[in-house]
Amino acid sequence: MKNILFIALLLLSNSSQAALNVFACEPEWAALTQELAGDKVSIYTATGALQDPHRVEARPSLISKAARADLLVCTGAELETGWLPKVLREASNRAITPGAAGNFEAARFVKMLEIPSRLDRADGDVHAMGNPHIQTDARNFLPIAEALSQRLAQLDPSNAGLYQENLAAFTQKWRGAITKWETHAAPLKGVPIVVQHKGFPYLTAWLGLHEVTALEAKPGMEPSASYLAQVVSELKQHPAKMVIRAAYQDDRPSDWITQRAHLTAVMLPYTVGGTPQASDLYSLFDDTIARLLAGAK
């Protein structure tokens, strides 16, 4: 009797364990995977909200987690090109190499913006597939969620029904949230803004903001004093309401321009955890729009 009870408890314990180990490159994809998979996955997030996802050290801890992962969920579009190839090479995990079922790149499932007409490093931090900061448009999460749910089911067919149910629930709730966000953000249409980094084309396209200029002469390159002086001159001719930056970025360029061009500086969470208020995917956009509306007053 004791043996039967022990076996039953062992089977129950095994059934409750996560089916898949997931290596998420950014917090937004960790959050989305959790929405779709619940306790069927164990998720490791490689980068934090206050960390530049372009520039990450390929630490042994990342390599160790990647070596044991069943599924890699990243942005792609060369966002992680500075560190992820080394992690994958050192991890030697065929299950998550490019082209494998366990390698999922979110950017492959959305319409990319700012695809360059030429590739030249002299133009700064450009990406051949387009601007990779796709997570700032809430609408992009719908096709990505559908594709990710299918991939989860492919890797873990025993829970395919659950993933489909979770996708349906997420899609319904997310569509309702988008409607709410777009209604609240209606006053932002046409509001002129300055961006510190060229990281907001999806946000501006979604909400109808008008990007006047950027504080980087070239993407990913720190602005010089002479270039910032040009920006101030340009803003005299084409005034803007606010300058926006991501939570992980240095605030000095934004502060410099606000003092000289009389703009409002707005820091956006950019991803889950970027601010105390942005604790999940839903509050990420709640907080983003609230901060933009406050800056536009």
Structural domain contains residue 6: no
Residues 167 and 97 in one domain: yes
Residues 167 and 191 in one domain: no
Q: Last residue of some domain: 134, 154, 179?
A: 179
Binning pLDDT at 50, 70 and 90, where does residue 221 land? confident
- Give the number of domains in the chain: 2
Residues 288 and 201 in one domain: yes
Structural domain contains residue 110: yes
Structural domain contains residue 83: yes
Q: Last residue of some domain: 179, 212, 231?
A: 179
Give percent of the chain above pLDDT 90: 80
CATH classification at residue 66: 3.40.50.1980
Q: Last residue of some domain: 128, 158, 179?
A: 179
Structural domain contains residue 1: no
Mean pLDDT calculated for residue range 40-45: 98
Residues 136 and 232 in one domain: no
* Domain containing residue 256: 185-296
Per-residue pLDDT at 119 exceeds 80: no
Per-residue pLDDT at 175 exceeds 70: yes
Residues 194 and 221 in one domain: yes
Axis-axis angle for helices 252-261, 225-237 (nearest 10): 40
Long-range contacts of 57-64, Cβ-Cβ distance < 8 Å, separation of 24 or more: 57/83, 58/83, 58/84, 58/86, 58/87, 58/90, 62/87, 63/87, 63/90, 63/91, 64/91
| Per-residue model confidence (pLDDT) at position 126 | 64
| Per-residue model confidence (pLDDT) at position 11 | 40
Structural domain contains residue 4: no
Per-residue pLDDT at 127 exceeds 60: yes
| Per-residue model confidence (pLDDT) at position 44 | 98
Residues 30 and 157 in one domain: yes
Q: Which residue has the higher pLDDT, 198 or 1?
A: 198
pTM value is 0.90
Structural domain contains residue 91: yes
Residues 91 and 210 in one domain: no
Structural domain contains residue 82: yes
Axis-axis angle for helices 27-37, 160-184 (nearest 10): 130
Residues 63 and 110 in one domain: yes
| Per-residue model confidence (pLDDT) at position 5 | 42
Per-residue pLDDT at 94 exceeds 70: yes
Residues 39 and 22 in one domain: yes
The stretches of 44-159 forming alpha helices (DSSP H) are 60-67, 84-91, 141-155
